[in-house]
A and B are shown apart, each in its own frame.
Chain A
Amino acid sequence: MTQQWHVIATFDRPGEVDDDQREALAGALPGFGIVTDDGQRRLQVEGDVEAGTIRQATDAGLKAVRAAWAEAFGVAADPVGLRVLTTAAHEEEIAHPAGSDLIGYTEIAQMLGVSKQRAGQLAELTDFPAPLASPAMGPIYTRGAVEVWASSWTRKPGRPRKTPAE
């Protein structure tokens, strides 16, 4: 008996990638194809395959993403990472983001190379991602959302420190 599996593969970004290539890649993936391009280093592709066991799903998924890549880019490539999970597990995952994907001001500050106070100020910007939750300890964001925002954030030089009074 077979079941549906969700496959997520990550490839190194092959230099410049245009919309036509991303569209071709999404269209060549099995199931509902999704292509995530971070614009810098990675392309992530997602699709669904039918298989009996996880081993068979892994084989089918790897074959499918390789074929989709070759169709879109005209060259063979292997993913640098591959995840295979049942659709039930995938639905559970997207309904409840994993702990490591959730960050607060401390992690945001580390990510951006700013102080925690500055991270809180940046989080007030209108284009900053909305928090997933706002418990008393402070707002919680998904790491991916902040990373996407950070990819187009331009650091502005701060006010120079005042010299100490003599």
Chain B
Amino acid sequence: MTDWMDQLITAAVRQGFYVRQTRNGSWIFGKGIATLTFERTPRTPREWMQMVNALRAFGLRFPPS
């Protein structure tokens, strides 16, 4: 799961997103004036799918080509 998160963050940063994790464990992805906030690191396949889908809707190419 950690590896997935690393890959997602790397792809996002390379594609112009800013990414940070708060002290409480939430993930914040931003591009331009738009922001995506996730409560925590996904724990289940469904939650991973939700995170990736939400980021793709923001324009993220994942897996990166």
User: What chain A residues lie within 8 Å of B28 (beta carbons)?
Assistant: 19, 22-23
- Asked, given contacts A26-B38, A27-B26, whether A152 binds B33 with beta carbons under 8 Å apart, the answer is yes
**A23 & B33 in contact (Cβ 8 Å cutoff):** no
Please determine whether B37 and A148 come into contact, CB atoms closer than 8 angstroms: no
A44 to chain B, nearest CB (A): 10
A64→B28 CA distance, assembly (Å): 22
Q: Are B59 and A148 in contact (CB under 8 A)?
A: yes
Per the CB 8 Å criterion, the residue count for chain B at the interface is 31
A130 on interface, CB distance cutoff 8 Å: yes
Q: Chain A interface residue count: which class?
A: 20 to 34
Q: How distant is A47 from chain B, measured CB to nearest CB, in Å?
A: 9
Contact with A along B47-58 (1 / 0, CB 8 A): 101110110111
Looking at the complex, which of A32-40, A49-57, A107-115 is the stretch in contact with chain B?
A32-40
CB nearest neighbor in B for A35: B37
Residue A129 lies at the interface, judged by CB distance under 8 Å to chain B: yes
Going nearest first, the 10 A-B pairs with the smallest beta carbon separation are A152-B32, A39-B33, A129-B59, A33-B39, A145-B59, A144-B57, A130-B61, A94-B53, A35-B37, A22-B37
Q: Could you jot down 19 A-B contacts, CB within 8 Å?
A: A19-B22, A22-B35, A22-B37, A26-B39, A27-B24, A32-B47, A33-B39, A34-B50, A35-B36, A36-B36, A37-B36, A38-B33, A46-B50, A95-B49, A129-B61, A130-B65, A146-B59, A148-B57, A149-B31
